[in-house]
């Protein structure tokens, strides 16, 4: 089956070989390739026209599902795609009808194995590799991007032609774009096509194939009057075909449009091309080839700006206003904003950022590290590291300018190009340049790098020099350039920590604080604009994640659009997958490109450790949760141990592609995580992605089961999965350890459950949800467990998983019972008993009988409760389930107590408590002690009740279970009151009231208020 969105919405099924049935996509209709070329849809035969899918709403439904292939699309998004923001009252029923029609188009009936299947929140359409023209296009697009960065123009041309051949017209051209998601998808595909066209023309020009391009480019420039790249390419094509006057006229028309409509000048790449044409020799073939391909597209514009102001960190460069030196400036000289003040006293620092914002504390640390003093003679070295776009160069340049007067013998600068376009600078070449800068030009330099380093250290002796080494790739690149003595300060910026450099002061930059972010946004957009739309401003700040580069791009976009409200930008930043990274791009700056520099350097590194880290990066991008511990990351990555995962993850932390908020815990910055997800989708096959997610969800299911075995050893044994996790689950020392892990990892466990459900892995989904019973014994009140159970129940229902259905009915019965929703509890428990009986699972039947005992006791049906309790006890004993016997005894004790027989109740509790103490189960001990105290109170022995409850509170404190403490304090207050200690009773009840309100425990709150009211009445 094949799906198409690059034109009309089309589909061809495997049993439709000729593509001539309604709803089919033709096999091989020639596709109109933008720019006048023709191509064929893979696997096709030319000559046919694509039939349309009959219903516009079915086309819209298919498009909405293909906007997120393989992922659940919520019902509200599907309704929005079909009806916009105001769906009719009958939308849900109508949507199901359209789903049925689409299934007929797909030749499916919705049973197991269908591509189009129901999910808990909506529907999923499964698409395999090679079946979707958008994925094929984006694969060629990504390959073209990589080849473009590498200036492999033949490969660029090949990939671009293959990508453009897939297009059959405007994307989704026969679908009304009623929803934001579809509008965003169409805009994304259109932009990707235009970028591909730009790269194709760059390649044509670089390869000298400029003949015949002018007409094509003129049409595109007219269609996109503010797209500067097309205009620059048109200028070069005209110039190289001896039409210089027309080329210059193109520039002047564009400049007039930009100035009059936006108030901005053309970007530096366009200005560079204009200057090249003005100053070109008579034969235009003699103009630099870089003007054709080397400055083409958004990527190359960024490179051009960097060459004009070498080493300027993108976070400092803002919109490129500093980069005005023109084509090729600084490529070999390394000069920035400053110029030398004479031989031996060079001043090469890049321009300072006029609106530099925040970083006061970091600046103080850096200045102190670089300044000398009586106790700090000799070289001072400071390393400023951090993720791409965090503002390393901006901070270093600001500090260097503030220290200019303290280094009269020179301020040297070099961009080491450790990350980004161009080859990394060779330390030997830089030594030659620096020696020349300090006036050693007349001396012949030795060829050996070590000998040059000796001369360099000698040249620095006795001088006060500030050396800025920007964008270092690793310590090996920096070490030969370091001074051996003298009053020299060296500031190094790098995306790596450079921990190998001895004696260096290290400053790791984190994203800006909330106050600094707002201050920077105000400086870029104006205080009135920000104050007028506080919610939109907050949305922009959240989307930018505290990165100065992202904020500067956002500010540049708003500055170029003075009539835009901030809410327009906030909406673009809050789009579907990848929307933020697309929106955070302007001119030659792009957040995505900044992250790509770090990633590509690792991916293409000759070092196997770097390549392994890059592979881990794109695989980690598949994980939808907030973070992972090392064992879970090892499962996702397919490694055999947490230690092995730590090694590769720490390499990513060192490269500032990953964060480590605490030892052994790892997470992405939001924007980096979005980029990693893109890399995972682009560079991993569907099978690789699925296998990685399966590994980590199986590991979480196994570890949740491990925690359950510790927290509720008496429970109905959870059937293990057929497959083993890639590494052993976490082992727990006791209740505290297991419960604390569940609390800490709950967001990740929920993410694993959602992944399992989205992939239709019901076996993993229901075991994960069922295993959280151990957690729920302490945290039933927050509703998290019930939500997980309902999500898993929807999955097992959709998949027809009989065993999973029995377990989910059982667990939902327990969850509703804990929350005192007795009607739903009874319904689920009876359904579970029926399924366990049908399957012959006597342990399951016994467990349900125990739960029914508790339920009937809670509803006051003590006869039924005792009947079910006795049947449960007999069945458990016949099965040899010793651990479960203690639970049944506890339930029977509760029933006797409520039925007015505290003596029988106490007997049951004592027997159960002895069993729990033997097992060391703190949760069960605390629960049974509370019940025992109630029996003692009923028998008129409050002092013994106080002793039992005091032990209970100590156990709950160890477990961190404050919600259950509210119930225990209510009982303890009654015990103190029975002893005549009103003050102690009031103190207990007041604390219980605070806890009940904090945890939204209405029944406990009501009981406590009754006690306090009785106390107040007795004292008046």
pLDDT tier for residue 320 given thresholds of 50, 70 and 90: very low
pLDDT of residue 1019: 74
The predicted model gives 326-331 an average pLDDT of: 28
Least confident residue range of 211-225, 273-287, 386-400, 875-889: 273-287
pLDDT value at 697 more than 70: yes
- The per-residue DSSP string of 28-59 comes to SPEEEETTTEEEE-TT--TT--PPPPS-HHHH
pLDDT tier for residue 810 given thresholds of 50, 70 and 90: very high
Question: Coil, strand, or helix at residue 491?
Answer: strand
Q: Distance between CA atoms of 528 and 530, rounded to whole angstroms?
A: 5
Q: Distance between CA atoms of 378 and 465, rounded to whole angstroms?
A: 11
The predicted model gives 451-458 an average pLDDT of: 89
Contact by Cβ (8 Å): 641, 634 = yes
The predicted model gives 123-133 an average pLDDT of: 89
Lookup result for tokens 């929140």: 121
- For residues 47 and 154, the model is more confident at 154
- Return all residues near 681 (Cβ < 8 A) that are at least 6 apart: 621, 689
Least confident residue range of 44-53, 366-375, 830-839: 44-53
121-125, 484-488, 829-833, 990-994: which is most confident = 829-833
pLDDT of residue 480: 92
Six token digits for residue 828:
């689920």
Q: What percent of the chain has pLDDT over 70?
A: 86
117-121, 373-377, 575-579: which is most confident = 575-579
pLDDT of residue 193: 93
Least confident residue range of 81-85, 744-748, 962-966: 962-966
Measuring CA to CA, which residue among 672, 685, 500 is closest to residue 597? 672
pLDDT of residue 197: 95
Measuring CA to CA, which residue among 520, 576, 531, 530 is closest to residue 553? 520
pLDDT value at 24 more than 80: no
Helix spans in 403-526 (H) = 427-437, 449-460, 475-478, 514-525
pLDDT of residue 941: 94
Beta strand 487-494 with 464-472 is parallel
How many other C-beta atoms can be found within 10 angstroms of the C-beta atom of residue 726? Answer: 21
Contact by Cβ (8 Å): 783, 751 = no
pLDDT per residue over 528-559, tens digit each?
888 888 899 999 999 899 999 999 888 888 88
Six token digits for residue 399:
């500090």
pLDDT value at 318 more than 70: no
pLDDT per residue over 208-226, tens digit each?
888 888 889 999 998 888 8
pTM: 0.56
pLDDT per residue over 842-861, tens digit each?
999 999 999 999 999 899 99
pLDDT of residue 171: 93
pLDDT of residue 421: 61
pLDDT value at 669 more than 70: yes
pLDDT per residue over 967-999, tens digit each?
999 999 999 999 999 888 988 898 888 888 877
pLDDT per residue over 272-307, tens digit each?
888 888 877 654 443 433 333 333 333 322 222 222
The predicted model gives 718-735 an average pLDDT of: 91
Cα 380 to chain centroid distance, Å, stands at 38
pLDDT per residue over 50-76, tens digit each?
445 768 889 999 999 999 898 888 888
- For residues 283 and 151, the model is more confident at 151
pLDDT tier for residue 119 given thresholds of 50, 70 and 90: low
For the CA atoms of 352, 366, 306, 343, the dihedral, rounded to the nearest 10 degrees, stands at 70
Q: Distance between CA atoms of 665 and 659, rounded to whole angstroms?
A: 8
């Amino acid at each position: 089956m094949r799906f198409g969105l690059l034109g009309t919405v089309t589909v061809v099924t495997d049993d439709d070989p000729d593509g001539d049935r309604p709803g089919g996509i033709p096999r091989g209709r020639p596709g109109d390739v933008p720019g006048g070329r023709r191509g064929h849809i893979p696997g096709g035969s030319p000559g046919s026209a694509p039939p349309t899918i009959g219903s516009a709403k079915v086309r819209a439904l298919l498009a909405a599902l293909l906007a997120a292939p393989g992922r659940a699309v919520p019902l509200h998004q599907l309704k929005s795609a079909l009806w916009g923001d105001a769906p009719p009252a009958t939308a849900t029923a109508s949507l199901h009808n359209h789903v049925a029609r689409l299934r007929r188009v797909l030749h499916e009936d919705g049973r197991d194995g269908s591509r189009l299947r129901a999910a808990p929140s909506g529907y999923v359409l499964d698409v395999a590799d090679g079946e979707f023209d958008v994925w094929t296009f984006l694969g060629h697009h990504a390959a073209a991007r990589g080849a473009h960065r590498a200036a492999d123009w033949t490969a660029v041309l090949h990939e671009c032609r293959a990508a453009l051949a897939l297009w059959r017209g405007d994307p989704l051209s026969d679908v009304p774009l009623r929803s934001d998601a579809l509008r965003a998808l169409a805009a994304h595909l259109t932009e990707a096509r235009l970028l591909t066209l730009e790269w194709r023309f760059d390649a044509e020009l670089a390869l000298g194939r400029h003949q015949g391009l002018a007409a094509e480019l003129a049409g595109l420039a007219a269609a996109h009057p503010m797209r500067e790249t097309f205009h620059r390419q048109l200028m070069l094509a005209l110039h190289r075909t001896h039409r210089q006057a027309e080329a210059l006229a193109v520039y002047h028309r564009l400049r007039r449009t930009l100035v009059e409509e936006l108030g901005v000048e053309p970007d530096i790449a366009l200005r560079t091309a204009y200057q090249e044409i003005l100053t070109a020799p008579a034969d235009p073939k003699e103009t630099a080839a870089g003007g054709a391909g080397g400055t083409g597209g958004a990527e190359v514009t960024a490179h051009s700006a960097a060459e004009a102001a070498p080493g300027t960190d993108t976070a400092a460069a803002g919109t490129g206003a500093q980069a005005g030196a023109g084509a090729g400036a600084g490529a070999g000289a390394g000069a920035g904003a400053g110029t030398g003040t004479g031989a031996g006293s060079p001043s090469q620092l890049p321009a300072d950022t006029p609106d530099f914002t925040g970083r006061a504390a970091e600046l103080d640390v850096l200045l102190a590290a670089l300044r000398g003093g009586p106790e700090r003679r000799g070289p001072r070295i400071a390393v400023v590291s951090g993720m791409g776009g965090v503002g390393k160069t901006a901070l270093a340049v600001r500090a260097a300018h503030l220290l200019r007067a303290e280094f009269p013998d020179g301020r040297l600068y070099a961009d080491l190009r450790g990350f980004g376009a161009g080859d990394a600078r060779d330390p030997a070449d830089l030594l030659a340049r620096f020696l020349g800068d300090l006036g050693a030009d007349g001396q012949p330099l030795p060829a050996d790098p070590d000998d040059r380093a000796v001369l360099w250290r000698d040249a620095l002796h006795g001088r006060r020099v500030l050396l800025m080494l920007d964008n270092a790739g690793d310590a090996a690149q920096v070490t030969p350039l370091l001074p051996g003595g003298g009053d020299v300060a060296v500031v190094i910026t790098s995306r790596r920590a450079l921990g190998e450099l001895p004696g260096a002061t290290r400053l790791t930059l984190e994203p800006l604080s909330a106050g600094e972010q707002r201050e920077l946004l105000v400086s870029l957009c104006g205080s009135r604009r920000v104050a007028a739309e506080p919610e939109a401003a907050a949305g922009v700040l959240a989307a930018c994640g505290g990165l100065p580069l992202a904020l500067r791009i956002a500010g540049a976009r708003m500055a170029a659009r003075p009539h835009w409200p901030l809410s327009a930008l906030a909406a673009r930043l809050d789009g579907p997958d990848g929307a933020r990274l697309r929106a955070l791009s302007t001119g030659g700056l792009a957040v995505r490109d900044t992250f790509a520099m770090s990633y590509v350097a690792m991916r293409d590194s000759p070092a196997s450790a770097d390549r392994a880290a890059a592979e881990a990066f794109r695989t980690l991008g598949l994980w939808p949760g907030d973070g992972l511990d090392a064992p879970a990351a090892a499962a996702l990555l397919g490694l055999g141990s947490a230690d092995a995962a730590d090694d590769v993850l720490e390499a990513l932390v060192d490269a500032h592609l990953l964060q480590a908020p605490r030892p052994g815990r790892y997470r992405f910055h939001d924007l980096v995580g979005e980029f990693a997800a893109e890399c995972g989708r682009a560079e991993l096959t569907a099978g690789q992605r699925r296998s990685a997610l399966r590994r980590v969800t199986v590991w979480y299911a196994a570890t949740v089961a491990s925690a359950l075995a510790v927290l509720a050893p008496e429970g109905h044994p959870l059937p293990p999965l057929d497959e083993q996790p890639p590494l052993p689950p976490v082992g727990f020392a006791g209740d505290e350890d297991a419960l604390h892990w569940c609390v800490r990892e709950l967001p990740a466990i929920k993410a694993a459950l959602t992944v399992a459900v989205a992939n239709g892995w019901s076996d993993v989904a229901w075991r994960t949800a069922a295993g959280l019973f151990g957690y729920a014994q302490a945290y039933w009140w927050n509703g998290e467990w019930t939500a997980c159970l309902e999500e898993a129940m929807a999955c097992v229902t959709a998949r027809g998983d009989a065993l999973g259905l029995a377990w989910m009915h059982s667990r939902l019965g327990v969850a509703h019972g804990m929350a005192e929703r007795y009607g739903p509890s009874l319904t689920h428990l009876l359904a579970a008993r029926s399924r366990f009986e049908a399957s012959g699972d006597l342990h399951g039947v016994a467990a349900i009988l125990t739960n029914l005992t508790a339920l009937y006791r809670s509803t006051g049906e003590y006869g039924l409760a005792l009947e079910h309790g006795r049947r449960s006890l007999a069945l458990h004993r016949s099965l040899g389930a010793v651990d479960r016997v203690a639970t049944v005894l506890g339930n029977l004790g509760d029933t006797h107590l409520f039925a007015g027989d505290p003596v029988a109740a106490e007997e049951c509790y004592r027997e159960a408590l002895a069993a729990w103490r033997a097992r060391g189960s703190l949760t069960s001990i605390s629960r049974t002690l509370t019940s025992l105290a109630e029996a003692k109170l009923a028998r008129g022995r409050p002092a013994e009740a106080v002793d039992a409850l005091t032990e209970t509170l100590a156990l709950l404190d160890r477990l961190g279970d404050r919600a259950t403490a509210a119930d225990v304090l209510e009982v303890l207050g009654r015990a103190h009151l029975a002893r005549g200690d009103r003050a102690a009773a009031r103190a207990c009840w007041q604390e219980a009231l605070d806890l009940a309100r904090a945890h939204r425990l209405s029944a406990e709150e009501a009981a406590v208020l009754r006690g306090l009211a009785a106390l107040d009445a007795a004292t008046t």
